Amino acid sequence: MRELLHKFENKKPEIVFEWNDEETGAEGWVVINSLRGGAAGGGTRMRKGLDKREVESLAKTMEVKFTVSGPAIGGAKSGINFDPNDPRKGEVLERWFAAVKPLMKYYYGTGGDLNVDEIHEVIPITEDCGVWHPQEGVFKGHFQPTEAQMINRIGQLRHGVSKVLEDENFSPDLKRKYTVADMITGYGVAEAIRHYYDIWGGNVADKKAVIQGWGNVGAAAGFYLAQMGVKVIGIIDRDGGVINKDGFSFEEITGYFLERKGNQLKAENIMSFDEVNSQVWDLGYEIFVPAAASRLVTKDQVERMLAAGLEVLSCGANVPFADKEIFFGPIGVYTDERCSVIPDFIANCGMARVFAYLMSDEVGLNDEDIFNDTSETIRKALNKTHAVNAKKTNIASTSFEIALKQLV
């Protein structure tokens, strides 16, 4: 696995597009790791301090993810170095998507990502630029559909991704009109944990969990885990957190989901970040979901969680460990050798899978069809890993080896 990983990490990307915005000083990159299958896909993120190296890393991560989610295309990513809280964000995105339009028309498909919303920003802005849909390039480059097929599948995508959830099993509040895109990634992270216990043994409903990050992914994962009967005993967010050693009720977790301000946890009993950070790693729980930014989880935190009984870590964030390596550095290896790590390209593949599902021939478009397809995709990937390695350690490295053999 190490040799395959080294080759894949060190392969130069096939295409790198660089952009500078004269009006704001924003800079951006599209990195296309390869045009495997004639196209490449990956979301658009924005954050202050982002650089080309981060975008290259994420493009490679997407290529691995597509070996699980499908379609069989190359990995790509867009990144913009700009403060997403700046009031000029919308103007920057408009100029960005106008600049990358030629790529999106023929071989590159994108979507939302960190600080860029799929429904309210990516889709309307790209349509205004003259792109039928943010995934148009994947259709043309990979599927090469007839015009009739193109119209039909883009219709499926438009309806499916922005579909308002109607099934209370998948939505924390039907009145608030949450969409598939709002919930599907966190759902997959939670389903990965459920399937892990089904396959490797254990009862998920007997477990306790801590969630790191309370944005769309972390909050949704917490909601679905609580729905399964898991006792969420702690949430640590950027500016604070909450702890209840006996576990929050399903109603309390749902309340924390609904009371969020943007992607931030809001609670009457919120603790300071320093206070919750000093306690949360030692509480004693079997499940940890890192769903905040990349490269945050330190070796000290892992050691403390392991000492307190950690069994499984389901990666809601891409590359959650504080390693400099693109995929698998010393902290990731250390954790994988001592507990069960469900890697990001399996656990958080939900949105990529929804795109692949909706690009297929006519498919069911109700909530259950879409969510069950993501769940089944994750289950199949974990079953493949279990067939090679039935131990509860080295799950991530085994999964990487299976994926990389398809790419290197």
229-250 tens-digit pLDDT: 999 999 999 999 999 999 999 9
State the pLDDT confidence band at 3, using cuts at 50, 70 and 90.
confident
Contacts of 10 (CB under 8 A, 6+ apart): none
Q: What is the mean pLDDT of residues 286-295?
A: 94
DSSP-based three-state secondary structure for 288 = strand
What does the longest C-alpha to C-alpha distance in the chain come to? 58
pLDDT of residue 103: 98
DSSP-based three-state secondary structure for 395 = helix
Are residues 162 and 181 in contact, defined by beta-carbon separation less than 8 angstroms?
yes
pTM of the predicted model as reported, rounded to 2 decimal places: 0.93
Please determine, for residue 134, whether its predicted confidence score (pLDDT) is greater than 80: yes
pLDDT of residue 331: 97
Decide which of 14 and 149 is more confident.
Answer: 14
State the pLDDT confidence band at 2, using cuts at 50, 70 and 90.
confident
Q: Say if residue 145 is preceded by a cis peptide, omega within 30 of 0.
A: no
pLDDT of residue 197: 98
Q: What is the mean pLDDT of residues 190-206?
A: 97
Cα 44–Cα 47–Cα 51 angle in degrees, nearest 5:
85
109: which 2 tokens? Answer: 């498909």
Helix, strand, coil % in the chain, rounded to nearest 5: 50, 15, 35
Residues 291 and 235: their CA atoms lie apart, in Å, by 11
10-48 tens-digit pLDDT: 899 999 999 999 999 999 999 999 999 999 999 999 999
* Candidate from 4-8, 20-24, 110-114, 232-236 with smallest mean pLDDT: 4-8
For residue 360, give the nearest of 45, 70, 90, 31 by alpha carbon: 70
Please give the domain boundaries of the chain with CATH numbers for all domains: 12-162 (3.40.50.10860), 174-406 (3.40.50.720)
Residues 21 and 116: their CA atoms lie apart, in Å, by 17
